[in-house]
């Protein structure tokens, strides 16, 4: 999935949605990278990946990653390297 466009009105310390994915494995890789870089983040919707076959179709679900705006370029660079 593509990263979200950055809102220029937000400050560098504000947390905002920067990336979404429907791939639990890719999300795990990104989270490991952010942990290794000691970048603070949180994910919304990750728990729904584990409800496959339940009332929420996992194929139609996306988890959204939030992080500080100052860390967005680091995430973007990592995603570009991973897509090569």
Q: How do residues 20-58 score in pLDDT, each as one tens digit?
A: 988 888 999 999 999 999 999 999 988 777 666 666 555
With 60 as the cut, is the pLDDT of residue 4 above it?
no
Res 3 pLDDT > 80:
no
Rounded to two decimals, what is the model's pTM?
0.73
Which residue segments constitute the domains of the chain, with CATH numbers given? 15-82 (3.30.70)
Q: Provide CB contacts within 8 A for 76, sequence distance 6+.
A: 3
């Amino acid at each position: 999935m593509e990263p979200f466009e950055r809102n220029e009105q937000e400050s560098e310390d504000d947390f905002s949605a920067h990336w979404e994915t429907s791939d639990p494995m890719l999300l795990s890789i990104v989270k490991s990278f952010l942990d290794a870089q000691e970048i603070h983040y949180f994910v919304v919707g990750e728990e729904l990946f584990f409800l496959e076959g339940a009332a929420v179709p996992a194929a139609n679900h996306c988890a959204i990653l939030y992080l500080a705006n100052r860390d967005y370029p680091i995430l973007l660079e990592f995603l570009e390297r991973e897509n090569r």
